[in-house]
Amino acid sequence: MRIAIYPGTFDPLTNGHLDIIERVCKLGISDRLIIAVRENLRKSPLLSLVERLALIYKLTSDFDQVEVDICTGLLVEYARSKYASMIIRGLRNGMDFNYEMEMAVINQSLAPDIETLFIPSKAENIYVSSSAVKEITKLGGSAGSMAPAAVIEYLKTKL
Ligand code: COA
């Protein structure tokens, strides 16, 4: 069985994240895709891990191969514990590339048997970010082109 992990903070899930999930499912490179929700030590999240997990669960329930989980500790150790052979990450621009490349190389040195695969963002998601979705919603604007309606409705109740 081919198992892939798509890790992220997902605070909250955006259309950019959903697009990556859909495209990985369509590619047929994995039998199970585990969306691994975790904390990023460089960020202070608005939503709790459970809130983020619940939103992702609701929005990915149509995908048979997708599972949602909370992940702690070293990413590669988590991937090993799930018998995963792939880590999926999306790339929007050169800044993402530099950050992701560094993580991928460190992860490769820690676990040479686990490959990181990069999926380029679609043009319409290049400027999408979880921070932008939160900021626009907080200031009363519409972030409907950046995140699913269920995410925005939930954020409105939080902000
Ligand atoms: N389209 C649009 N936006 C996207 C996107 C896409 N395809 N992919 C990511 N983004 C955005 C997100 O919305 C988010 O925006 P924000 O910065 O405004 O919050 C940002 O890009 C990245 O967020 P996300 O993908 O949710 O997660 P992350 O980059 O915070 O997650 C981890 C990073 C979890 C993968 C990383 O912290 C990690 O691997 N930690 C493990 C620790 C470890 O093992 N360390 C050792 C190796 S270094």
Residue 70 lies in a domain: yes
Is 65 a pocket residue for ligand 1 (Cβ < 6 Å)? no
Ligand 1 atom closest to residue 75's alpha carbon, by position in its atom list: 44
Residue 121 lies in a domain: yes
Nearest CA to ligand 1 atom 45: 74
Residue 72 lies in a domain: yes
Question: Distance between CA atoms of 95 and 21, rounded to whole angstroms?
Answer: 21
Catalytic site includes residue 122: no
Beta-strand relationship, 66-70 and 86-91: unpaired
CATH number for position 69:
3.40.50.620
Residue 29 lies in a domain: yes
Confidence of residue 156 (pLDDT cuts 50, 70, 90): very high
Residue 22 lies in a domain: yes
Structure confidence at residue 78 (pLDDT): 98
pLDDT tens figures, 54-92: 999 999 999 999 999 999 999 999 999 999 999 999 999
Give 140 Cα–ligand 1 centroid separation in angstroms: 25
What does the block give as tokens for 105? 């190389």
pLDDT tens figures, 82-121: 999 999 999 999 999 999 999 999 999 999 999 999 999 9
**Segments forming the whole domain that contains residue 58:** 3-126
Residue 60 lies in a domain: yes
Residue 150 lies in a domain: no
What pTM does this model have? 0.96
Query: What is the tally of helices (H) and strands (E) in the chain?
Result: 6, 5
Give how many domains the chain has, as a whole number.
Answer: 1
Structure confidence at residue 43 (pLDDT): 85
